[in-house]
Amino acid sequence: MTQKPVNQKAWWLILPVVLCVAFSAVLPLMTVVNYSVQDIISPERRVFVGTEWFKSVMRDDDLQGALLRQITFSLSVLLVEIPLGIALALAMPAAGWRSSLVLVLVAISLLIPWNVVGTIWQIFGRTDIGLMGAALTQLGFDYSYTGNATHAWLTVLLMDVWHWTPLVALLCFAGLRAIPDAYYQAASIDGASKLAVFRYIQLPKLRGVLMIAVLLRFMDSFMIYTEPFVLTGGGPGNATTFLSQYLTQKAVGQFDLGPAAAFSLIYFLIILLLCFILYNWMQRVGTADKTEAGHG
Amino acid sequence: MARIELDLAHAYKANPQRDEDYALLPLKMSFADGGAYALLGPSGCGKTTLLNIVSGLVKPSHGSVKYDGVDVTARTPQQRNIAQVFQFPVIYDTMTVAENLAFPLRNRGVAADKIKQRVGKIAEMLEMSGQLNTRAAGLTADAKQKISLGRGLVREDVSAVLFDEPLTVIDPHLKWQLRRKLKQIHNELKLTLIYVTHDQVEALTFAEQVVVMTRGRAVQIGSASDLFERPAHTFVGHFIGSPGMNFLNAQIDAAGVTVAGQLLMGATQNLRDKGSVTLGVRPEYVTLAHADAAGAIPATVTQAQDIGTYWLLTATTAEGGTIKARLGTEQVIPKVGDPVWMSVVGSHTCFYKNETLIA
Amino acid sequence: MELRLEGIEQRVGASVHLHPLDLNLVPQAVTVLLGATQAGKTTLMRLMAGLDKPFKGHVKVDGVDVTGVAVRERNVAMVYQQFINYPSMTVFDNIASPLKLRKEKNVDTRVNELAAKLHIEPFLKRLPAELSGGQQQRVALARALAKNAPLMLLDEPLVNLDYKLREELRDELSQLFSSGQSTVVYATTEPTEALLLGGYTAVLDKGELLQYGPTAEVFRRPQSIRVARAFSDPPMNLIEGSAQENGVLLPGGNSFAMNLSTLTSNNVTVGIRAGALRVHRHDGDVALPGQVELAEIAGSDTFVHVHTAIGELVAQLTGVHVFSLGEAITLYLNPAHAYAFGADGKLLIAPSTSVGSN
């Protein structure tokens, strides 16, 4: 942008915030970096090992398993939640008291604390007292999220969809409201079918919003911890042990601080890289949209 | 192409009692098949509402809309087979120009080679043949607006093409070209065209008949020269012309017409004992006269503006009324503060009582 | 106040938004910045206000260099295209805000005075959102006038208004400006608006300042083809021709008698204003027969597009004339009313008498 005359006084106002962030984020991060290059045999005995942990962590089979499970999970989440969210947004009423009511109802699952979500579904899925578990058993399915790995996966996925699809839906809802009426009128005049309207008007105009939704959901699901932990505890076996849980097990459970710290950093960098890529892509498409939309 | 007849009123409330409750006061008008019409008026006068009623996007609260004698009031725009061009370009971003133009035809199941032919013809008319395969999203505003227009024209059986202030987003120097294009298209395709605008230049250039509207009422329907020479309502006199008509308070008694104490003309058959009236004369017809000339009143010059091709003189009468005059550049232009005599009565002068033309 | 822009250049990234220019605004007069959209008018205004720093060059107010001084320190009032008012304050508070900031006394009287001047007294207790577009812009203008700043900038303030409303406000603005003490800068894309406002005009095109001078003079003597193009509505008819003894040879065998003694090359572009072409013959006129391509009626004038031997011409005729397409018509022009531009685009000849209308 063009150079604006600079007013330096504003920096003083954000100094308190900068100090807080430094204390609560940067310092712990530096601690992790410190741990990642040391072998901590006991609180008193530490040995500097350089990049040793990084190398071993990359070769760890368990870790690679957890990574694979995580990627599969995130992709499944996206595949289900994005189309479902769009469909939900299309079905929601646009205006009036009904609109407000539906918005509130849809948003409720977003407000529930994450461990409570896990607990809800844990009970929900129990074959003895859980509504879903009992119903499925009644219908003849041998449903067990504690015993069957596939069932556990599906339950975790279903829980995530229930919890987070409303976010996608709300974003798409806002995006849809931003489309001027004239487009729909023109499409109706052109004789376009509902499918054509969706394909040629709504979906292209939702592009910006969808990218935000994809970015948010991918990042969040990649870091997911509380809900699956509460629901399945990572089981059966390690069927639903995703990356963050694996990491915690290593660091807190096994007190393998060195490798855990090393992998934390790698984890952090992976997410950072993905965000960077997605964000840049968003920016590029965003400016292209703006130049197209703007008039002379 | 269709003949469109309107006999309707539109109110937002259920039981309209007064004029203010109506968005469109009861009106009756018809648009001939193949004619070019403009709905002209300031913002809020109801012209867009009227256009939307014609197209079917709005259903009138009272009355009916007929296409070729058939009542279509309940039909959607699609069913009425109309085309509409909006204020800002409405195009399908993901398609090319050719695909955009072909879209309405594809939805109607027209054969592929016929589509190609028709799209080619319309593209040529709009001078866009070279851009048929470019993505529509990357073009300029006026190109996009041409595409919007093209989508309306591409259907051969379209009953009417309606325009809602389509040149709003276009650069001023490109407006010329698009106006000309619209007129040429009208001449070539002979479609019924209805154009909504608040800009008199657009309306008068484009239309054969202009409907002047204000506050929900159609005050006059006529050709450009009718509206210019004999405005039926003071609003028309004010709105058409740049600047609009001059209005002066006058008294008509048995002796004749008096303005600011001056007897300007003797009473005639039409102009006798009318009481308080308004005298209307366009700046183009006001001339400078000698002192005490017939039909002239004294005034003092308050402003003299050089507009390049003419001079615009503003003067105030003794009563405080304002008169503007358009003077050619070869005349001697008085200076600010000079006393002048302005001839306001002539064959082009109109008289109004209660805002309506009486003579 | 005396505002001087010296060697001003503005860049955004790699693109040049304003090429190096010098501009000394005539103090306490109206200067119109005329140019197409994206010509650089808003960029220039922002530099004058202090909202942006120029890439190069200096801005001097009354001799003092204020380049880089924040806009808050400079005493400037600005009115925008989009009617900008404080949405949560009433009209009265909106107009009073600059007065209160300066801790002036008699705020009430001043506000009422300004509201009366701009015809918005009935709305003093309302919120801006409850007013129409024209009324909102009047509030913005009243607020700008209340500030009583020595420099007042208006960036196409009437462009979002109805055509008729624009005329009315423009008249009022002219009167307000002439009675005030501020230096006014008004940006517009319409040549007619520049002519109606009078004062001085600076013609901008693609980031370059082409000409600055009294409006009527810039209109009558455009220094180059680019200025002529920017400052004509309808567009000036430009026809390429070649110089001959005593005149210019135009396509189709027509020739105009012109005094081209200062010629450097053979190629000459003849410029004919639409208003110079007539349908009645006068002494000394050259006849240009042709066919009517299009007749456009614009309120009080008719614009006829005619296809003649020398090319497509647009003529402006006073009054409403009806022509049918393809009708034969002869246009008349006195060569003394034509402009001539050299191969480099610079002005060679301008009509010495004013261009007449019929």
- Shortest distance, CA B24 to any CA of chain A (angstroms): 22
- The reply to whether residue C69 touches residue A5, judged by beta carbons under 8 angstroms, is yes
Task: State yes or no: pLDDT of A292 exceeds 60.
Answer: no
Rounded to 5°, the CA angle A213-A215-A220 comes to: 95
Query: Is residue C355 very low, low, confident or very high in pLDDT (cuts 50, 70, 90)?
Result: very low
Task: State yes or no: pLDDT of C257 exceeds 60.
Answer: yes
Q: What is the pLDDT of residue C353?
A: 55
Determine which of B52, B81, B93, B157 to mutate to test the interface with A (most A C-beta atoms within 10 Å).
B93
- The reply to whether residue B284 touches residue C162, judged by beta carbons under 8 angstroms, is no
Non-local CB neighbours of C64 within 8 Å, separated by 6+ positions: none
Token digits for C262?
Answer: 């200062």
Closest CA to B37 of B222, B178, B176, B238: B222
Determine which of A3, A7, A8 to mutate to test the interface with C (most C C-beta atoms within 10 Å).
A3
- Can you tell me the distance from the alpha carbon of A208 to that of A53, in angstroms, rounded to the nearest whole number? 40
- Can you tell me the distance from the alpha carbon of A63 to that of A58, in angstroms, rounded to the nearest whole number? 8
Please count the residue pairs, one from chain A and one from chain C, whose beta carbons lie less than 8 angstroms apart. Answer: 22
Q: What is the pLDDT of residue C262?
A: 58
- The reply to whether residue B326 touches residue C300, judged by beta carbons under 8 angstroms, is yes
Which one of 3.20.20.80, 1.10.730.10, 3.10.450.50, 2.40.50.140 gives the CATH number of domain C235-349? 2.40.50.140
Nearest CA in chain C to B204: C297
The residue to which tokens 């004749």 are assigned: B256
Those residues of chain B that have pLDDT short of 50 are none
Contact of C14 with chain B, judged by CB distance below 8 Å, is answered with: no
Contacts of B180 in chain C (CB under 8 A): 294, 296, 305
8 A C-beta contact, residue C345 and residue C226: yes
Determine the angle formed by the axes of helices A207-222 and A61-91, rounding to 10 degrees. 140
- The reply to whether residue B284 touches residue C298, judged by beta carbons under 8 angstroms, is no
Better-predicted residue by pLDDT, C326 or A71: A71
Specify which residues B43 forms β-bridges with: none
Q: What is the pLDDT of residue C38?
A: 82
Task: State yes or no: pLDDT of C336 exceeds 70.
Answer: yes
Task: State yes or no: pLDDT of C22 exceeds 50.
Answer: yes
| Fold of the B244-357 domain | OB fold (Dihydrolipoamide Acetyltransferase, E2P) (2.40.50)
Task: State yes or no: pLDDT of A248 exceeds 90.
Answer: no
- The reply to whether residue A5 touches residue C37, judged by beta carbons under 8 angstroms, is no
pLDDT digits (tens, 9 = 90+) for A107-148: 999 999 998 999 999 999 888 888 988 898 888 888 888 888
- Shortest distance, CA A165 to any CA of chain B (angstroms): 27
ipTM for the whole complex: 0.77
Q: What is the pLDDT of residue C358?
A: 34
- The reply to whether residue A189 touches residue B78, judged by beta carbons under 8 angstroms, is yes
Highest mean pLDDT: which range of A19-23, A97-101, C325-329: A97-101
Average pLDDT, rounded, for chain C: 84
Closest CA to C156 of C184, C187, C183: C187
Pairing of strands C3-12, C56-61: antiparallel
| Fold of the B4-238 domain | Rossmann fold (3.40.50)
Contacts of A205 in chain B (CB under 8 A): 93
Mean pLDDT value across residues C117-139: 86
- Shortest distance, CA B67 to any CA of chain C (angstroms): 29
Q: What CATH number does the domain located at A46-290 have?
A: 1.10.3720.10
Interface residues of A toward B, Cβ cutoff 8 Å, are 180, 182-183, 185-186, 188-193, 196, 200-201, 204-205, 292, 295-296
The domain ranges of chain B are 4-238, 244-357
- Tell me the torsion sign for CA atoms C312, C318, C319, C321: negative
Determine which of B307, B312, B332 to mutate to test the interface with C (most C C-beta atoms within 10 Å).
B307
- Can you tell me the distance from the alpha carbon of C291 to that of C308, in angstroms, rounded to the nearest whole number? 7
Nearest CA in chain A to C73: A5
Q: What is the pLDDT of residue C12?
A: 86
The domain ranges of chain A are 46-290
pLDDT digits (tens, 9 = 90+) for C146-198: 888 889 999 999 888 877 888 888 888 888 888 878 899 999 988 888 988 88
Interface of C with B in 193-222 (CB under 8 A): 195-196, 198, 215-216, 219-220
8 A C-beta contact, residue A49 and residue A249: no
Percent of chain A scored above 70 by pLDDT? 94
- Can you tell me the distance from the alpha carbon of C280 to that of C302, in angstroms, rounded to the nearest whole number? 15
Better-predicted residue by pLDDT, B129 or C259: B129
Say yes or no: domain C3-226 is CATH 3.30.565.10: no
The domain ranges of chain C are 3-226, 235-349
Better-predicted residue by pLDDT, C354 or C21: C21
Q: Torsions phi, psi of C92, nearest 5?
A: -60, -50
For residues B164, B170, B174, B178, the Cα torsion angle rounded to the nearest 10 degrees is: -20
In angstroms, the Cα distances linking B3 to B63, B153, B221, C177 are 17, 17, 17, 51
Q: What is the pLDDT of residue A4?
A: 58
Q: What is the pLDDT of residue A288?
A: 58
